[in-house]
Structure 1
Amino acid sequence: MDELKLIAERTASVPLAESDALGSARARLMAEIAAAGTENVVPLKKRRRWVWTGVGAAGLAAAITAVVAFAPAGLEPPVATADPVAVLRNAAAVALKAPDTPPTPSQFVYTKTKQPDGERESWLSADGTHDGLIKMADGKSFPLPGCRNGRAQAYKGEKPLKGVMEPCTPRPAYRADLPADADAMFAYLNANHSGHDGDFNAMGKDVLALANENHLPSAVRAALFGAAAKVPGLRAVDHAKDAAGRPGVGITWPLGPGHDPKVAKPVVIVFTADTFRYLGTNSTAVIASGVVDAVGQRP
């Protein structure tokens, strides 16, 4: 096969790296070539040129692919077909370095998501004791009563039931109580996920529930993606897009028992291909988030 054709085929589906990343990637590539020793390079007489021998078209294509798909410094470089474990570990490394400013108890975690039926906004109480709100794509709003002293206002639809309170437990949107270690987080998810033991599809949905509309400390978010990397049967999805149409690298997991793979549509978690930032899924894209002081405010 023609070498240039092989290289083109190997790199066609690989996103180009940012220009700042290419310098260090090229340096690593040349360092690996030099480390291989001089037995595989032959000088052409007195001219300062080299011929690579013992490499072959496939090896050369793989080397160039490694540079094209180069990840940011300090992360594991994915290959032409992404390694799902490497992608999630890279996402964890990026999350760990993100700014970490905890909200105050009286603040709200704001999230705007894009879904098939439109955009949804939520204002969730940071400590779970203040009244929050969810605004649906159709314009309807649903109050989220805060839990104070073990009691919360009861609602029927959007209307409060006068004088009716119900038992409750605070559900804070700021989850500093979760494990900050990948192994501990995996054990937590396995013990608390919504499905039965070994139902990793249910565990995956719980991962998304935490990632989408909660404010997680940097170490906790890193542990969440690190725990997801431990799920068996992960698969990478090339040319994935989130619900807002943003392209990236996708990760999916096995469907739970009883799901017909011909009918069930797997959830695909999408990260940016160059910086491994979490975007959302193929059904729910996180397009804005932050901490605000009151319901109705936006970052």
Structure 2
Amino acid sequence: MDELQLIADRTGSVPLAESGALGAARARLMAEIAAAETENVVPLRKRRRGVWVGAGAVGLAAAVTAVVALAPVEQAGLQPPTAAADPVTVLRNAAAAALKSPAAPPRPDQFLYTKTKEPNGERESWLSADGTHDGLIKLANGSSFPLPGCRNGRAQVYRDDEPLDGVMEPCTPSPGYRADLPTDADAMFAYLNANHSGHDGDFNAMGKDVLALANESYLSPATRAALFGAAAKVPGLRAIDHTQDAAGRPGVGITWPLGPRDDAKVAKPVVIVFAADTFLYLGTNSTAVTASGVVDGVGQRP
């Protein structure tokens, strides 16, 4: 049975995982703690972490995530954050939290607004829900550039922020609302493998794809849960007990394994961060989603 469906069936009345189900994970954690005490090794959160190189600047500038208020972890039927050292537990808790978030899908003519905090400041973006309307990205330095909608297979060509008169290019709509994605973890994992951005077996590249979907798209609760459930199937994940996103909000973090072509000595780690109490997705240690919502037009804010 798909783990995500099991979560959906059970989280309303019982904890996400019983102590027996997490026995192996706890045993691994306790063994590592014992080894640290006896061998005087560096604590887990200070060790050299696997590296996940994040999505490009334009993609991160256009980050879109539904920011919702979640019940305390105990009320949501989640495993308390004492098990945060197990990355699979963290991601399954995030999936369970996503399933309980309210759904408010946008209309085709609406826009997905987001504000992100990054090292160089705050950015705002307005993405067309159906990909056919003209959106906008506003950079931290005050400049902006358009996101032309794709209508009848053609999109306006711009030079900087000015449209070139009569110059169009072929296109395919890129909707901000991804209603086409799977709603269970197994199907989502298959989708990510079939549509990966890197080489076969490059789970670091899959991590980028997971981040792009979590940030840049409006996903239904079931689809967002499936995304985190699929991420939990990646081998070699690591959890960081105490970290924070780019806005300084504390949480638990997940890092992806290195890609086959990554150099651990020079690559900069990117950590996906969830709130420690609710497992709400916050962003990463380099880009934090601080506000988002659905609006009727470019320039509006929720």
Query: What's the TM-score bracket when you normalise by the shorter of the two chains?
Result: 0.7 to 0.9
CA contact (8 A) 2:110 2:297 kept: yes
Q: 2: distance between equivalents of 1:183 and 1:250?
A: 23
* 1:67-91 residue CA offsets vs partner (Å, 9 max, x unmatched): xxx9524223443652110010000
- Report the AA paired with residue 164 of structure 2: L
Note closer, same or farther for the CA distance 1:172–1:80 as it changes in structure 2 (3 Å cut).
closer
1:128 alignment partner, one of 128, 131, 137: 131
- Report the AA paired with residue 135 of structure 1: K
Which residue is equivalent to 1:249? 252
Residue 218 of structure 2 corresponds to residue 208 of structure 1: no
* 1:160-212 residue CA offsets vs partner (Å, 9 max, x unmatched): 10010110000000001000010000110111111011111111111111111
- Report the AA paired with residue 154 of structure 1: V
Gaps of 5+ in 1: 1-23, 30-57, 59-69
1:190 alignment partner, one of 190, 193, 213: 193
- Relative contact order higher in (CA < 8 Å, ≥ 6 apart): 2
Which residue is equivalent to 2:236? 233
* 1:28-82 residue CA offsets vs partner (Å, 9 max, x unmatched): 99xxxxxxxxxxxxxxxxxxxxxxxxxxxx9xxxxxxxxxxx9524223443652
CA contact (8 A) 2:84 2:252 kept: no
- Report the AA paired with residue 122 of structure 1: S
Q: 2: distance between equivalents of 1:209 and 1:198?
A: 18
Query: What is the CA distance between 1:241 and its match in structure 2?
Result: 0.7
* 1:128-180 residue CA offsets vs partner (Å, 9 max, x unmatched): 00000001111111100110000010011111100101100000000010000
Q: 1: distance between equivalents of 2:90 and 2:268?
A: 22
Q: Which is greater in Rg?
A: 1
Q: How does 1:69-84 map to 2 (within 5 A)?
A: 71-73=73-75, 74-79=77-82, 82-84=85-87
Q: Root-mean-square deviation (CA), in Å?
A: 2.0
Aligned partner of residue 206 in structure 2, secondary structure: helix
Which residue is equivalent to 2:63? none
* Percent identity over paired residues: 80
* 1:93-145 residue CA offsets vs partner (Å, 9 max, x unmatched): 01011110111000000111111111111100000000000011111111001
TM-score in terms of structure 2 length: 0.75
Q: 2: distance between equivalents of 1:297 and 1:199?
A: 39
TM-score in terms of structure 1 length: 0.75
